[in-house]
Amino acid sequence: MKPDFSNDVNAEAFTLRRRPPSEKLVDIGFSQLSLALASGVALVLLGIFLTVFGQAREAIAQFGLNFLTTSDWDPVNDRYGALVAIYGTLVSSLLALVIAVPLGVGTAIFITEDLVPTRIREAIGLMVELLAALPSVVLGLWAIFVMEPAIRPVLNMLHNVLGWSPLFSTVPQGPGMAPAILILVVMVLPIITAISRDALNQVPIELRQGAYGIGSTRWGAIFNVILPAAISAIIGGVMLSLGRAMGETMAVTMIIGNSLSFNISLLAPGNTIASMLANQFGEADGIQVSALMYAALILMLLTFVVNVAAQWIVRRLSLRY
C-alpha cells in the first residue's frame, strides 16, 4: 500500500527534488567540456602528424624514397639523404637494448624474487626510479666530461685487439657511437627494470608456490615458471624502451659526435635522427627545414610502429590465468 502524503504538511520532503534548468545546463556543459578536452589528445596527435607531414611535403616531393638510402647531407648544394641518421638511430638503440635488457631484467628479478631483505630491495627500486628522473641533458653533461674520458682507454684497447674487424676499425677520439650507446643503456635501464619489476610482481603467488612445491630451486622457478608467465609484459616493456631509445635526444646529441658521413665503426662519431634534428633546426631554413621534417616524420613512424607493437604484444600475448 502506498503511503498517501497528499494531506501531509511535510509532503515536500518526500517528493523527488526537481532539478532546476540551470543545474542541468551545468551538468551537460561539464560533460561536453570534458569530452572536448579528451578529444584534445586526438587533436594533438593529428596536429603533430599533419604539421610534420605538411612541412615535409616539399622534401618528400623532391627526394622521394631515395632520402632513405642516400647518405649525403649537404646544405650548401641542398642535397639531403638520411641514411647515416637512420642507421645511427637503429644501431645505437638496438645495441643499447642488447646490453640493457639482461641488466634490467636481472635487476628486476633481484628486487622482486625475495633474494635480499625488503629494505635493500626497496632502496634499489627507489634508486632505479631516481635514475629515470635524471634529466637527459645532465646525463649528457656527465657523459662528455666524466664517462667518455673514463672509458676511452677501454675503447682504445678494443681497437688494438679487435681493430681488424670493421666495427672497431677507427681510433676512438672522444665523442662517438660507443659512448652514445652506453649513455642510452643508462637511460633505458630504469624503464626496462621498472616494467619488468611490475610484470614479475603480477605473477600470481600460486604459480610460485606451485613451482616451489614440486621442489624446484629458486632459479629453476624463475626460469621455468615466473619468467615465462611474465614474458609478454617484459617484451612489451622492452619494445617501449626501444621507442624511447630511438627518440632519445639530448644525451645522445652531446656525445655521439654528429658526424654527417657514414662510418660503420662503433668507435667513430655517428648521428641519429633525433640528434640531427636537435643540431640543425635552430639555424635551418628553406628546403633544409623540409628535409629535417621528413627525417622527423621517419622517426615518428618508427617510434609509432614500435609503440603500437608493444601495446599489441602486451594485450594479445599476455597469459591468462
Partner 1 sequence: MTSSTNISYANSDLFDRRSLFFDPNLKRNRLNELLTAIAATFAAIAVLPLFLVLGYVLVKGGSMIRPSLFLELPPELGLTGGGIGNAILGTLIVSAIATCIALPVGIGGGIFLSEYSRGGWFANFIRFGNDVLAGVPSIIAGVFIYGLVVVTKLFFDQSFSAMAGGIALSVLMLPTIIKTTDEGLRLVPQELRWGAYGVGASKFVTITRITLPAAFTPIATGVVLAVARAAGETAPLIFTTLFSPYWPDGIFNPIATMSVLIYNFAIMPYEYQNALAWAASFVLVVMILGANLLSRWISKMAKT
Residues 178-237 that bind partner 1 (CB under 8 A): 186, 189-190, 193, 217-220
* Distance (Å, whole) CA 187 – CA 252: 10
All three cell numbers of 294, joined, read 621528413
* Distance (Å, whole) CA 59 – CA 295: 10
| Three-class secondary structure of residue 19 per DSSP | coil
* Residue among 169 and 259 whose Cβ is closer to partner 1: 259
Q: Is 243 in the site for partner 1 (CB under 8 A)?
A: yes
Residues 81 and 69 sit within 8 Å (Cβ to Cβ):
yes
* Distance (Å, whole) CA 86 – CA 68: 8
What character string, x for contact with partner 1 (CB under 8 A) and - otherwise, covers 53-72? -xx-----------------
The conformational region for residue 320 under phi > 0 = left, psi -120 to 50 = alpha, else beta, is beta
Nearest to 82 by CA among 302, 317, 265: 302
* Residue among 201 and 217 whose Cβ is closer to partner 1: 217
Size of the site for partner 1 (CB under 8 A): 93
Q: Is 94 in the site for partner 1 (CB under 8 A)?
A: no
Q: Is 154 in the site for partner 1 (CB under 8 A)?
A: no
* Residue among 169 and 216 whose Cβ is closer to partner 1: 216
| Three-class secondary structure of residue 79 per DSSP | strand
Report the residue from 72, 106, 202, 204 that binds partner 1 according to the rule CB under 8 A. Answer: 106
* Residue among 57 and 159 whose Cβ is closer to partner 1: 57
Stretch that binds partner 1, among 59-67, 90-98, 100-108, 204-212 (CB under 8 A): 100-108
Report the residue from 95, 97, 109, 200 that binds partner 1 according to the rule CB under 8 A. Answer: 109
H helix or E strand, kind and range, residue 143: none
Q: How far is the CB of 26 from partner 1 (least distance, A)?
A: 5
Which amino acid type is present at position 210? G
Within residues 120-139, the interface with partner 1 by CB under 8 A covers 124, 126-131, 133-139
Q: Is 35 in the site for partner 1 (CB under 8 A)?
A: yes
Which amino acid type is present at position 171? V
* Residue among 230 and 310 whose Cβ is closer to partner 1: 310
Within residues 162-181, the interface with partner 1 by CB under 8 A covers none
CA–centroid distance for 83 within its chain: 22
Report the residue from 59, 178, 230, 277 that binds partner 1 according to the rule CB under 8 A. Answer: 277
* Distance (Å, whole) CA 215 – CA 178: 44
* Residue among 111 and 155 whose Cβ is closer to partner 1: 111
Nearest to 69 by CA among 84, 58, 53: 84
Given the C-alpha cell 633481484, which residue does it identify? Answer: 110
Q: How far is the CB of 258 from partner 1 (least distance, A)?
A: 10
